[in-house]
Structure 1
Amino acid sequence: MRILLYVFITFLVFGSCKKGKEEPQKELQPKVIWKPYDETKDLESTKKLEQARMHLKLVNSKILDKNDIWKPLASELEDFSAEDYNRLKKFILEKDIPTIQQSVKKGELSYEELVKFYIYRIRKYESDNSLSLNAVISLNPKVVKQARVLDKVDKNTIKINSVFGMPIMLKDNIGTKDMLTTAGAIALQNNKTDNAFITQRLLDENALILGKANLSEWAYFLCIGCPVGYSAIGGQTLNPYGRMIFESGGSSSGSGAVVAANFCTAAVGTETSGSILSPSSQNSVVGLKPTIGLLSRSGIVPISSTLDTPGPMTKSVVDNAILLNALVGKDPNDTTSVSSETDFLIAAKDSIVKGKRFGVIKSFLQDSLYAIAIDQIKTAGGEVIEVEPEQISLPGFLSILNIDMKNDLPKYIKTYASDNININTIEDVIAFNLRDTLIRIPYGQGIFEGIVKDSTTKEGLEKIKEDLKITARKYFDSQIDEHGLDVVLSINNYHAGYAAVAKYPALTVPMGYTEKGEPKGLTIIGKSFSEAKLLQLGFWYESISKKRKMPIMYN
């Protein structure tokens, strides 16, 4: 017995000594599980908010188990610890693309680590019901393996001003081969598509498609007066600067939130009228709504072939220009598509502002943040001209969206949707949703019902389009031409409708925060294909104002 005891003690001592000489082991990853919770108190708190549109009926999706978002990548995170996450923060959080690329070149960071950092971060916050933003619908199950391949490339050949190896999130109405494309709607829940043209452009530039961002269902063209950022698939997108207090903006709500919360390097949204400008402003990020035709719409779930466009959403103007460079390209399947030889990053950095003339909306000077921005522009050498364009209505605007959607959705389904999608028309979607209204349309489908009722003829529609384009261009051009302006300065998405039907580009840049902490953006509007000028002036304003701050709960 004594001999056995001696052997046992000797084994323990020897074993302990041997273990002590080994390299310290990383802590095993705890199993991260999201659990549904009683949302009653959260929902009741929103009823106290002044804006009726923020009176929520639910927070989380009733059909998506959030664990399924990161489950396909769980094994990839087994060797990625909290220690790794904290070590990498300083190289990633709030850093622009060139800075991240420099860290990769120096060996401080790999593309695989960059991807794992974002996946870990998404899981960390989205599994916490007190912090989750419901900003992500899915993650690319192949993205870590794809990052490993890029890590084998000679780093000396990689340009720092490129999307090479950068994890990008796409709004979930943009086609991706490796993930479903749902537009947030249960009717498209199993929609397997090929890559949209712009998705393929990103892949051709060796960007990494990290995942799909939540959105306002059907790009906020479904229900009347409902919360922006809600979809049946993804639930309610929340604003990281004020969860269940401030709107997330829409319809590219998730794209704005994932960039603001540093869940990715950059994102792509889409806009018909305000759907990039609004969430970018609300989430204190830079958003560009390009001229119709600069970026392809092929493979994107549509509202309007007349007004739809994708656009970059980023933490900085530099990143916006880099992402735009990667997205451009003439698409033979999009009749509005044009080619572009502009290097938007070079244009953005050419920030000489001497002689540039800014049109300032006189009535907006009552907004303190706008007034401060204008003073900064004047102090830094910009010429400010106060203007007061006559307010005009845009009659028939809704009919453009109604009739286009009625025609464009069947075309999309026929051309791009997978064979298992059993809807073909707006009427089909309405009937599908009526089978389970509580789950599929808790806020109704009043806009879809209006689409069916709209009897505008083809001829009538063409007249509306032309009349509104002339009206909106006159609204801007009357000031731009008379005063020799380079751009007009607005706030958030206040002039999004005018820019939409004029087919003019608009760039919003963080302008600051209200006393309550709600973000606002300075929005720069110019004539068609003036993106280079918008980015140039946006870069200059960003450099003198430096207003963007990371949301405090997501540092």
Structure 2
Amino acid sequence: MKYATGCSVVLAAIFFSFLQSCNQKKSINNSAEVTLWQPYDDSIEVVANAEHENPRMRYKLIQSKVLDKNDVFNPLYEEVDKLTTTRYEALKPMILEQDIPSIQASIKEGKFTYEELVLFYLYRIYKYELDNSTTLNTVIALNKEVLEQARNLKPNADGEHPIYGMPILLKDNIGFKGLPTTAGAIALKENFAGDAFIVKQLKEKGALILGKVNLSEWAYFFCDGCPVGYSAIGGQTLNPYGRRIFETGGSSAGSGTAIAAGYAVAAVGTETSGSILSPSSQNSVVGLKPTIGVLSRTGIVPISSTLDTPGPMTRNVTDNGIVLSAMMGYDSKDSKAKEIVFSGTQVLETEAAPLQHLRIGAITALINQDSIYAARIEQLKSAGAKIIQITPPEVQLNGFLSILNIDMKHDLPAYIKAEVRTKDAVTIKNVEDVVAFNREDTLVRMPYGQARLEGILVDSTTTEALDDIKLNLQQEARRYFDTSLDGQDLDAILSINNYHAGYAAVAKYPALTLPMGYKTSGEPIGLTLIGQPLSEPQLLTIAKTLEAFMQARLLPKAYSD
């Protein structure tokens, strides 16, 4: 990675150190120090990244120009004050990196309460997000009632769903009553919508919504070639494994970084094409993009009603199945909703299978291209897994962008009409209005431009042509996978990160990524499973097996205290 050299950078570094030392500190119970946030001059960080080898990481800004973090964090500060450093340290081994069943067992045994569980995560959020040297610009809204809600819970009794009492973070395109749902855009800054269908499902089972996290603005269908994880509302999300060194992935950047850093039990992301798989892989967490229709999209700011889906993002496979199960339910308002052939209980009860029972496809081109992938394939073979090398047929995904363009042109107005309850404050009605709104203040509202939104306005694809594109893409993508899945009788195909997310998107196939390891630079890399529709229980079973075999996830060092 290249950085600017010379005297100016030395002086900049000295000035940056001075700014960091000026951060105010406030004692928590006289036994810890948590930094109170102050705006700072992020130009030093911007200059440092000006020659980054990845053009998308040549930032124009780090901090949001519209969000005051004190508005987010001050309301609960006195509550967080209840947790002493001594108690935090005692809780850490019982919570940090533990799965949901282990946490629930500790609560049942009286080792801590649901209130302390919430306080533990809030403590971590305040500790790292309010310090300008460690902030990931991840948490952009907090549920002010979450501690009171936690106090009203009793230790998880028999019959309760495992999600009961678990603090969950939501990507900020998912509706939650009481907090704005912005999709990262200033145009939706005052959008106080109701609960999305999946949020209602979570709350009905006793989950605690901790708050909202940052994302790539408009789920990365906004600017072209711009930094992933950037939004006008939240600023630039950063990767805990390397702040300003590695990309966060997107568009569910805040969901991935928050779970990697240990800010909640789980997060919910959304994906149109790669937006769960990419940030999960980049942040060494488990992310599942379900079959389209398994989870409702009602109450979620859309790109494409054809391809959009929410999905769970967690630190382990067990928790992923639990969160998926908790969000499931038939939604008659969702045009793609399926009467699911597997139950939430079936997802919960998936167990690791012996490696010898696995029959999975490894893509020859990836074996030749990536040494970590190749090494894992060899390790799996040596351990007894049946690995079949495959070369999928070449297919063309022509017209993919038109699906997103035409869908968003129709789906955004439908969302605004149905979900926005503050129409006096949210004046936009369609994509044209968003484009015009942003042009009124380009430096704040669209510092990287809005090429994707402008592309929607000039796409003249007809409804008939779009139907043909959708059918052709689905057939081509399914041929890409099914040639091997059916022809070789495979349980799943192994890919890397979000390399085949576009194929899985238009095929409407589920995909699950889990930590595979780290490059020599320290950048995480994920192993991604792709299966046929409604094969989520099978993918979770395979993922549990691979997770136990690889044991690849490591907590980011800078966030291990």
> Which TM-score tier does this pair reach, normalised by the shorter chain?
over 0.9
The equivalent position to 2:69 in structure 1, one of 66, 69, 88, is 66
- 2:173 counterpart residue number: 173
Closer/same/farther in 2, CA of residues 129 and 165 from structure 1, 3 Å limit: same
User: Any unmatched runs of 5+ in structure 1?
Assistant: 1-24
Q: 1:131 aligns with which of 119, 131, 134?
A: 134
Equivalent residue, structure 2, for 1:116: 119
The aligned residue for residue 535 of structure 2 is 530
CA shift, 1:156, in A, is 4.1
1:67 CA displacement: 1.6
Shift of 1:42: 1.1
Amino acid at match of 2:328: V
- Per the alignment, residue 12 of structure 1 pairs with none
Please tell me whether the aligned partners of residues 259 and 266 of structure 1 are also in contact (alpha carbons under 8 angstroms): yes
Q: Is the 8 A contact 1:70 1:119 kept in 2?
A: no
Alignment partners' CA distance in 2, 1:369 and 1:544: 15
Contact 1:91–1:109 (Cα < 8 Å) also in 2:
no
Q: How big is the shift at 1:119?
A: 1.1
Paired letter, 1:157: D
Distance of 2:298 and 2:348 partners within structure 1: 28
Q: Distance in 2 between matches of 1:212 and 1:144?
A: 15
Residue 539 of structure 1 pairs with residue 540 of structure 2:
no
Equivalent residues of 1:28, 1:78 under 8 A apart: no
Counterpart secondary structure, 2:210: strand
Which secondary structure does the structure 2 equivalent of 1:489 belong to?
strand
Q: How does 1:91-170 map to 2 (within 5 A)?
A: 91-150=94-153, 153-157=154-158, 162-170=162-170
Output aligned runs, 1:37-76, within 5 Å. Answer: 37-76=40-79
Give the equivalent residue in structure 1 for 2:243. Answer: 243
How far apart are residue 346 of structure 1 and its match? 4.6
Return 5+ residue gaps in structure 2 as ranges: 1-27
Report the AA paired with residue 415 of structure 1.
A
Return the letter of the residue paired with 1:293.
G
Q: Displacement, 1:81?
A: 2.2
Give 1:5's aligned residue: none
Counterpart in the other structure of 1:357? 359
2-side partners of 1:252 and 1:458: how far apart?
Answer: 30
- Provide the C-alpha distance between the structure 1 equivalents of 2:70 and 2:224, rounded to a whole number of angstroms: 31
Question: 2: CA distance between counterparts of 1:233 and 1:515?
Answer: 34
Are 1:88 and 2:65 matched, yes or no? no
- CA distance in structure 2 between the aligned counterparts of 1:392 and 1:288, rounded to whole angstroms: 24
TM-score (norm 1): 0.93
- How far apart are the structure 1 equivalents of 2:256 and 2:384? 31
CA distance 1:346–1:298, shift in 2 (3 Å) = closer
How far off its partner does 1:28 sit? 7.3
Cα distance between partner residues in 2 of 1:350 and 1:40: 49
Tell me the CA shift for residue 452 of structure 1: 0.2
> Is the CA contact (8 Å cut-off) linking 2:252 and 2:269 kept in structure 1?
yes
Deviates more, 1:350-359 or 1:50-59: 350-359
> Take 1:376 and 1:522, find their aligned partners in 2: how far apart are those partners?
14
Per-residue CA deviation, residues 380-406 of structure 1 (Å, 9 max, x unaligned), is: 321111111133221000000000000
Counterpart CA distance in 2 for 1:324 and 1:210 is: 18
Q: Is the 8 A contact 1:137 1:212 kept in 2?
A: yes
TM-aligned CA deviation for residue 29 of structure 1: 7.2
Q: CA RMSD in A?
A: 1.5
d(CA) in 1 for partners of 2:349, 2:118: 30
- The 2-side partners of 1:29 and 1:544 are apart by 39
1:78 to 69, 77, 81: 81
Letter in 2 for 1:362: T
Amino acid aligned to 2:549: I
- 2:374 aligned with 1:375: no
Q: TM-score, normalised by structure 2?
A: 0.92
Rounded to whole Å, the distance in 1 between the matches of 2:35 and 2:328 is 39
Tell me what 2:302 maps to.
Answer: 302
Aligned runs of 1:334-353 on 2, under 5 Å? Answer: 334-340=334-340, 341-342=342-343, 343-353=345-355
Q: Deviations over 1:179-200 (max 9, x none)?
A: 1111000000010011000000
**Maintained 8 Å contact 1:111/1:165:** yes
Q: CA deviation at 1:27?
A: 2.5
Within-5 A mapping of 1:114-513: 114-150=117-153, 153-157=154-158, 162-340=162-340, 341-342=342-343, 343-366=345-368, 367-418=370-421, 419=423, 420-513=425-518
Contact 2:194-2:419 within 8 A present in 1 as well: yes
Look up the SS of the partner of 2:356 in the other structure.
Answer: coil
Q: Distance in 1 between matches of 2:373 and 2:511?
A: 16
Identity %: 55
Deviations along 1:508-530, one digit per CA (max 9) or x if unpaired, are: 01000000000000000001111
Given that 1:252 and 1:270 are in contact with CA atoms closer than 8 Å, whether structure 2 keeps it comes out as yes
Letter of the structure 2 residue corresponding to residue 110 of structure 1 = T
Q: Distance in 2 between matches of 1:354 and 1:377?
A: 9
Query: Which one-letter code corresponds to 2:371 in the other structure?
Result: S
Alpha-carbon distance in 2 for matches of 1:101, 1:154: 8
Q: Is the 8 A contact 1:255 1:268 kept in 2?
A: yes
CA contact (8 A) 2:255 2:267 kept: yes
Partner Cα separation in structure 1 for residue 510 and residue 388 of structure 2: 20
Contact 2:223 2:448 in 1 (8 A): yes
Tell me how far apart the structure 1 counterparts of residues 59 and 506 of structure 2 sit (CA, whole Å).
31
Whether the 8 Å CA contact 2:150–2:208 is kept in 1: the answer is: yes
CA contact (8 A) 1:240 1:553 kept: yes
> Do the aligned partners of residues 162 and 347 (structure 1) sit closer, same or farther apart at CA in structure 2, a change above 3 Å counting?
closer
Deviation of residue 155 (structure 1)?
A: 4.1
Displacement of 1:33 in angstroms is 1.7
Distance in 1 of aligned mates of 2:133 and 2:32:
21
Return the offset for 1:75. Answer: 2.6
SS of the equivalent of 2:263 reads coil
Larger CA deviation: 115-124 vs 386-395:
386-395
More displaced, 420-429 or 85-94? 85-94
Shift in Å, 1:44? 1.7
